[in-house]
Amino acid sequence: GQQLNQSPQSMFIQEGEDVSMNCTSSSIFNTWLWYKQDPGEGPVLLIALYKAGELTSNGRLTAQFGITRKDSFLNISASIPSDVGIYFCAALDSNYQLIWGAGTKLIIKP
Amino acid sequence: DTEVTQTPKHLVMGMTNKKSLKCEQHMGHRAMYWYKQKAKKPPELMFVYSYEKLSINESVPSRFSPECPNSSLLNLHLHALQPEDSALYLCASSLWQGVHNEQFFGPGTRLTVL
């Protein structure tokens, strides 16, 4: 079936660092979404992307819809402690259901 | 109002119990979803309701029974569950089941089956 390959699996970051993560697929998608999930909570929608090549920001977060429509990237600038959590990419398939990446876990270095 | 609410937050039940999970949204969304999420995994789709009609059942065992009483409410009835059904159950909604389907999630119900 369709899969999204999300990397990295986890990241150790220091406060103030910039963070990058990405999702790739062998299939073309027309909508890419990025969610963040805190422990014991539901995923929160961060950014939605609808057009190939589109670059969208939400505060310190910036996401891009790849020009090939097979990938997407999320960048977080100047990370802060509350950025820790699991970030999921998701894409809308032809049945309008979400296909999910495995998640990127963001951890703050002590 | 831009949120999806779920009750209860936590639920512990025995394998012979019958319980229900509830979900509510007042965003005027016409598509509602149930997902199951195991630890360290992404959500797995269980059911989709579109305009109050069941449109997708992802081969979910019959011990899970969804219900959509109206456009704002979604229930998941549980009966004779197994310990492996313990998970975080998430409800989500979207404007409709179609293009530009941004799904908004509730906080989830943490279910433990003993």
**Mean pLDDT of residues grouped by 10 in chain B (114 residues)?**
89 94 96 96 96 94 96 96 97 88 94 96
Q: Which residues of B are less than 8 Å from A92 in CB distance?
A: 99, 101
* Chain B contact residues (CB < 8 Å to A): 4, 6, 40-43, 45, 48, 56, 88, 90, 92, 97-108, 110
Residue in chain B lying closest to A100 (CA): B42
Chain B touched by A66 (CB under 8 Å) = no
Q: What pLDDT score was predicted for residue A77?
A: 97
Residue A96 — pLDDT band, cuts 50, 70, 90? confident
CB-CB: which of B43, B101, B104 is closest to A96? B101
User: Which tokens belong to B99?
Assistant: 């293009």
User: Which tokens belong to A104?
Assistant: 């990127």
* Mutant choice from B48, B90, B93, B103 vs A, greatest count of A C-beta within 10 A: B103
Q: Give A72→chain B minimum CA distance, Å.
A: 16
- Residue B84: which region, alpha, beta or left (left: phi > 0; alpha: psi -120 to 50)? alpha
Which residue matches tokens 């969304």?
B29
d(Cα B114, Cα A21) in Å, to the nearest integer? 38
Residue in chain A lying closest to B41 (CA): A102
- Taking 90 as the threshold, does the pLDDT of residue A23 lie above it? yes
Residue in chain A lying closest to B42 (CA): A102
Q: What pLDDT score was predicted for residue A95?
A: 84
d(Cα A94, Cα A26) in Å, to the nearest integer? 14
d(Cα B84, Cα B111) in Å, to the nearest integer? 10
Q: Which residues of A are less than 8 Å from B40 in CB distance?
A: 103
User: Which tokens belong to B64?
Assistant: 């899970």
- Taking 90 as the threshold, does the pLDDT of residue A28 lie above it? yes
- Taking 90 as the threshold, does the pLDDT of residue A110 lie above it? no
Q: What pLDDT score was predicted for residue B2?
A: 62
Identify the weakest region by mean pLDDT among A2-6, A37-41, B5-9. Answer: A2-6
Identify the weakest region by mean pLDDT among A68-72, A77-81, A92-96, B80-84. Answer: A92-96
Mean pLDDT of all residues in A4-10: 97
- Taking 90 as the threshold, does the pLDDT of residue A106 lie above it? yes
Q: Give A22→chain B minimum CA distance, Å.
A: 16
- Taking 90 as the threshold, does the pLDDT of residue A5 lie above it? yes
Mean pLDDT (chain A) is 94
